[in-house]
Structure 1
Amino acid sequence: MSGLWSFSGRYRILHLTWFAFFLTFVVWFNFAPFATAVKADLGLNEAQLRTLAICNVALTVPARIIIGMILDRYGPRITYSWLLIYAAIPCLMFAFAQNFSQLVLSRLALSIVGCGFVIGIRMVAEWFPPKEIGLAEGIYGGWGNFGSAGAAFTLPTIAAAAAFLGAGQVNWRFAIALTGIVAAIYGVVYYFNVQDTPPGKVYERPQSSAGMEVTTQKDFWFLLLSNIPLVGVLGLIAWRLNQVKFLNVTQLYVTWFLLLCLYAFQAYNCWKANKGLMTGKKRYASEDRYQFGQVVNLEIAYLACFGSELAVVSMLPTFFQRGFGLTEALAAGVAGTYAFMNLAARPGGGLISDKIGSRKWTLAATLAGMGVGYLVFSGLGGNIPLVGVVIMTMIASFFVMAAEGATFAIVPLIKRRVTGQIAGNVGAYGNVGAVIYLTVYSFLPQDAAGDRIFFQMLGIVGLISASICAFLLKEPEGSHEGEEIGIASSKAPVFSRERE
């Protein structure tokens, strides 16, 4: 990575791609800085505001699965470009919304933009060798993930600068619309400045893009089981919309029925993709197999780390106000240090995974550190000096984001031709975690005691996921070896293969 600060070759692709991810996160989180203004302008209540926060991550769950299939089929260049262009549509919808229903529909549509992360995982994996994949993916994820903090820092300033356009209401509308327009313009720039693979390297595509390819019959049933939470969490969101009167009881039951149909359709597509395997007409050679159980291990890890990040970002300012008596502005500034750590922590997790020789134990250790950090957080009280709070916040967030980097230091090494779909599934579980955490949080007492219970829950989940990785995750073989970029390799790193 000695040429990281250059803008040529694979480093050029890395920089263009992390910035694409950065913009998708600016778009995805463009509502948070204006939540109070939107609430006042449109007369929303607290329950409606919390529902919008859940809607913001709702369709990201199925979108990451679908975008993974499209990505593996058509390549990251086209997929990322069109997603960025699409981002302008829901941003403009939200900017012109006049009531709660319009806000919900636009945030649901905008939540699809949150799947952009998956695309760059495949792009970076195509351009960097296995021994550098952790740091490269960490830079992509960490620097792009900083888009959430970028939105918080810049959008209020943009809104204030646009005050001459009219009333305060116009300010937030202008800023949110602008994020979509900028993303669309960059989508065109991205299309004309990147390539899917280095010259001479073949872009590997799955035999079927209908569903994820597995390599043993046992893994097929494991795949179907792992898809249940991805649909179930959408049912949970529908129930939440019923609680705020957006859906009536009849519409709720219809939605649940449609979600059952969606799961059946998804299962059928998985059958189509693996029909030869399941009917005994196809058998994979041992060197062409991968263990889907390892994907599930990574899904649980990402549910714990990224799911908690999404949830904590939305409540941390309130936690500091209630627990430490900070002003709104100061609480927001301290909470910003949590997201700020993305710049170093996620690449740091990937770099450690590259350097210490064990990707498995890197992930287990960072998850354990995250769990302990959250448990310490749950015990913090208002008598701690502000500098101590800031330091503790940065330490806890380091382990959260390092675990994210360590997770995606492994994802691209499982099975190259289905990397997009694997990344989509793992990434979707992060959103599953966020929805579950935020839903639980909505039922807790809205005081310092409720915040402590929330962090205790996150800490326990972190320690459980660390134990699962320690006992069940297998070390990828050959993941610290070099691979010459530009030459298609038939020896991709794999997990210890199981034989039938």
Structure 2
Amino acid sequence: MPNTYQGNRQILFLTTLAFFVSVLVWFNMAPFQSLIMEQMGLSRDEIGVLMLVNLALAIPARVIMGQWVDRFGPRKVFSILLMVMSIPCLLFAFGNSYSQLLVSRLLLGGIGGSFVVGIRMLSEWFPQRQAGFVQGIYAGWGNFGSAAAAFSLPGVALIFGGDNGWRFAIALTGVIALVYGVIYYFTAEDSPAGKDFKQSSSSGVMKVTSVPDLFLLMVTSFPLYGGLAVLVWSLQRTSMLPAEWVIALYILLGGLYLTRAVRIWTANWAHLKKEIPREERYSMSQVSILSISYFATFGAELAVISMLPMFYQDTFMLGAVGAGMIASSFAFTNLAARPAGGWLSDKFGRKRVLMTLLLLLGILYVSMSFLSSHWPVVIAVILTMCCSMVGQAASGSVFSLVPLVKKNNTGQVSGMVGAYGNIGSVCFLAVLHMVNPVFFFLTIGAAAFLCFGLTFFIKESQSQKTAIRSPVEEEILQAR
């Protein structure tokens, strides 16, 4: 029998590198925050706003990219995204006013939507029995772009030298994105030879297959706008937004959600009047549970990475370098932990592994709430590393299930689930601003326990339960 997936390793390398470049560009400001503050005369609040807006558009971008990738294919979408996002990257690099930095950083947040594009690409190029492992490699090594930015860009700035070294280093990442966007377009393919790429006709609105699922989709869509509202509230707390702007943005977000809800209802009500073939049916509850689980796993990871250096400095009186090294351990463990979570799911059952990891994650984060200066630093670091590894493995386990919900809507499903990860980071950081780290860790632990309970309601098909299948069975399942 011919190899249906011939060339898939090359696609895995090309797509992981595309995501790596995206993350490198997305977090290229982080190593130069203090320098930018000094040169541009910015306050801590102003640099904090730049960090927040860098996350803002990633929430809707993941949903939009998910719709587009199902409609137009991952090769075009990934290539164009990289090339277009090089423009705000260059604008930020050579911005001379705070307004230029703010607008360009806001637009650059759109590159955070790149993650879902690769999920659809790899679901086409790899069999289901390998879905968790390869997507763990993609996410784990791609997200390492943030650590690569932290380690490499300061050295690049020194090579260029002078006061503008940081500008040239950031601009270089934009040039890399532009060049690699062209390379990816001419070297990648949407699907293997002889295998059709199944496009989705529902690129604007996700189509459900039952009336209860219609209401569930409307409820699940609300946090996509609620997360942006939390972001606006966080900006208000920094006194960077006038009260009238805040009110206007709340009204705008409310209006956008109502408009979206009407579109969801209109498109799906007409769709549900038709007879839906059995092979087209799927459960929206699966999407909702996976979304909330990613909220509690990857969302917590992003939030903890943001607060961990300062937490270790304040709790254990460590220097900035030592605390930064501990925080960077999250990025390094991601290289192995996320693929491991996917591999375990492929091997031992996706639902079972996800439930186990969520339960462990809840226990570990509750344990983190007891950290204090009385703990030996070594024990604290070990506990932190365990949280990192289990959380990232759980993220990998979540996305081992995503491509199996509905094949030709993988982009839309992964867009929804992926957006919840960004929403989680915004919400958990908002909690941290209101309470102390003890309650911050307890909140994350409670969210993990909640997701553990929800995973009991995941209904696995036989193809999801079985990790090892014969090539003939795989061909039949992929053809459905």
TM-score range, shorter chain: over 0.9
Superposed displacement of residue 30, structure 1: 1.4
Q: Within 2, Cα distance between the matches of 1:482 and 1:160?
A: 54
Does the alignment pair 1:454 with 2:436?
A: no
Does the alignment pair 1:353 with 2:345?
A: yes
The match for 2:325 is: 333
Superposed displacement of residue 391, structure 1: 2.7
Superposed displacement of residue 215, structure 1: 1.0
Q: Within 2, Cα distance between the matches of 1:99 and 1:218?
A: 50
* 1:63-142 mapped onto 2 (5 Å cutoff): 63-142=61-140
**Amino acid across the alignment from 2:352:** W
Does the alignment pair 1:242 with 2:242?
A: no
Does the alignment pair 1:194 with 2:185?
A: no
The match for 1:401 is: 392
Secondary structure, aligned partner of 2:219? helix
* 1:289-304 mapped onto 2 (5 Å cutoff): 289-304=281-296
Q: How many residues align?
A: 474
The match for 1:418 is: 409
The match for 2:429 is: 438
Q: Within 2, Cα distance between the matches of 1:477 and 1:454?
A: 39
Does the alignment pair 1:26 with 2:11?
A: no
Q: Within 1, Cα distance between the matches of 2:113 and 2:473?
A: 27
With structure 1 as the length reference, what TM-score do the two structures score?
0.90
**Amino acid across the alignment from 2:354:** L
Secondary structure, aligned partner of 1:478? helix
Contact 2:45 2:240 in 1 (8 A): no
With structure 2 as the length reference, what TM-score do the two structures score?
0.93
The match for 1:317 is: 309
State the superposition RMSD in angstroms. 2.2
Q: Within 1, Cα distance between the matches of 2:293 and 2:471?
A: 27
Aligned partner of 2:278 among 266, 282, 286: 286
Superposed displacement of residue 382, structure 1: 3.2
**Amino acid across the alignment from 2:248:** V
Contact 2:119 2:135 in 1 (8 A): yes
**Amino acid across the alignment from 2:139:** G
**Amino acid across the alignment from 1:100:** Y
**Amino acid across the alignment from 1:104:** L
Superposed displacement of residue 148, structure 1: 1.3
Contact 1:101 1:246 in 2 (8 A): no
Aligned partner of 1:207 among 193, 201, 206: 201
Query: Could you list the per-position Cα deviations for residues 39-62 of structure 1 after superposition, in whole angstroms to 9, with x for gaps in the alignment?
Result: 222233333333222212111111
Q: Within 1, Cα distance between the matches of 2:100 and 2:244?
A: 20
Aligned partner of 1:218 among 200, 212, 215: 212
Aligned partner of 1:344 among 329, 332, 336: 336
Superposed displacement of residue 395, structure 1: 1.4
Superposed displacement of residue 385, structure 1: 4.3
Superposed displacement of residue 414, structure 1: 0.5
Which stretch of the first structure deviates more once superposed, 145-154 or 121-130? 145-154
Gapped regions of structure 1 (runs ≥ 5):
445-449, 493-500
The match for 1:182 is: 176
Contact 2:46 2:240 in 1 (8 A): no
Gapped regions of structure 2 (runs ≥ 5):
none
Superposed displacement of residue 162, structure 1: 1.9
- How high is the sequence identity, in percent, across the aligned residues? 43
Aligned partner of 1:12 among 10, 13, 20: 10
Superposed displacement of residue 328, structure 1: 0.7
Q: Within 2, Cα distance between the matches of 1:476 and 1:335?
A: 39
**Amino acid across the alignment from 2:428:** Y
Aligned partner of 2:54 among 50, 53, 56: 56
Task: Classify 1:23/1:485 alpha carbon distance in 2 versus 1 (closer, same or farther; 3 Å).
Answer: farther
Secondary structure, aligned partner of 1:420? helix
Contact 2:339 2:396 in 1 (8 A): yes
Contact 2:128 2:474 in 1 (8 A): no
Query: Could you list the per-position Cα deviations for residues 252-285 of structure 1 after superposition, in whole angstroms to 9, with x for gaps in the alignment?
Result: 222222222322332243245424334x2x1213
Does the alignment pair 1:364 with 2:355?
A: yes
Q: Within 1, Cα distance between the matches of 2:453 and 2:377?
A: 33
Superposed displacement of residue 296, structure 1: 0.2
**Amino acid across the alignment from 1:366:** L
Contact 1:199 1:486 in 2 (8 A): no
Which of the two has greater helix per residue?
2
Q: Within 2, Cα distance between the matches of 1:453 and 1:57?
A: 23
Task: Classify 1:476/1:345 alpha carbon distance in 2 versus 1 (closer, same or farther; 3 Å).
Answer: farther
Superposed displacement of residue 176, structure 1: 1.5
Contact 1:210 1:270 in 2 (8 A): no
Does the alignment pair 1:379 with 2:370?
A: yes
The match for 2:458 is: 473
The match for 1:464 is: 450
**Amino acid across the alignment from 2:408:** R
Superposed displacement of residue 175, structure 1: 1.5
Secondary structure, aligned partner of 1:410? helix
Secondary structure, aligned partner of 2:463? coil
Query: Could you list the per-position Cα deviations for residues 283-339 of structure 1 after superposition, in whole angstroms to 9, with x for gaps in the alignment?
Result: 213332100011000000000011011111111111111111111111111211111
